[in-house]
Amino acid sequence: MRTYEICQRTKIIRMIRAVDIRKSFGETEVLKGISMTFEKGKTNLIIGRSGAGKTVLLKLLVGLMEPTHGEIWYGDDNFSEMGKKQRRAIRMEVGMLFQGSALFDSMTVEENVRFPLDMFTNMTRKEKQKQVDYCLARVELDGANKKFPSETSGGMQKRVGIARSIVLNPKYLFCDEPNSGLDPKTALLIDELIKRITDENEMTTIINTHDMNSVMEIGDNIALLYLGELSWQGNKSEVLDSDNELLQDFIFASPFLQRLRDAALNRNQV
């Protein structure tokens, strides 16, 4: 019974809830009452056109911005009401991949990945090295330890960013446009990597994207934002059948993709 309770609590703890989130910049309301839940062990995608409020929502979720109204819950803890110290404790369990990777230029790949370990753990040098090598191996970057970020490609930088964000074994992983600036093949690799790490570590992963491949490949839970409002929620298998016009316009934006969708639907009907 006790084990069951602990498991249940862990399950709840790793869930993130946004409750009636509003955010204004001056007169402009960017988010207009967003309420949604991000589930544990799943890749939760926030999609939408540029200016829909995706990045603002992500920054609110991790506490880089404060909502004008509403609450953010990490399990049973109200993140919005936490003090700086409590937030730092939560953030120890958070990893984030930034759009521009945000790698420290003056540090090598290895030093970048080791930074959280140096800052927050009392591991020995050997243990840290082992953990760094393990994380770099997970993102298929063995041997890149001594390279500087400027000596690596965009895709490699994203992978280093992922390695750094998982080095402390976080419970929550946030990714802001993980595929931006990458070719489709590399973008797929990054998607697969994030999905695999999410599944293996049972993390709550929240990805902010407008990459359609990501939506169709790894979208366990998908939320479409439109002009600061939650327009649609579902999963990748529900995308094709949805009659939400905004979703269809967004996902199948080009005539080519629309023809593909129609062909797929016709085939299903036959």
Binding site for another protein (CB under 8 A): 62-64, 84, 88-89, 91-92, 94-96, 98-100, 102, 104-105, 115-116, 118-120, 168, 174
Taking a C-beta distance cutoff of 8 angstroms, is the pair 61, 174 a contact? yes
CB of 85 to another protein, least distance (A): 10
Smallest distance, another protein to C-beta of residue 55, A = 11
When the beta carbons of 2 and 125 are compared against another protein, the nearer one is 125
Residue 143: burial class (beta carbons within 10 Å; 0-12, 13-18, 19+) = exposed
As a whole number of angstroms, the distance between CA 270 and CA 267 comes to: 5
- Decide whether 165 or 209 has the Cβ nearer to another protein: 165
User: CB-wise, 46 or 224, nearer to another protein?
Assistant: 46
Q: Which is nearer to another protein, 87 or 236 (CB)?
A: 87
Q: Compare residues 132 and 230 and give the one whose CB is closer to another protein.
A: 132
- CA torsion 136→154→222→65, rounded to 10°? 90
* Distance in Å, CB of 264 to another protein, minimum: 38
* Least distance from another protein to the Cβ atom of residue 91, Å: 4
Contact 16, 63 (CB under 8 A): no
Q: Which is nearer to another protein, 49 or 91 (CB)?
A: 91
Question: Closest CB to another protein among 89 and 253?
Answer: 89
Least distance in Å: CB of 133 to another protein?
A: 20
Closest contact distance (angstroms) between CB of 28 and another protein is: 16
Closest separation in Å from C-beta 229 to another protein: 26
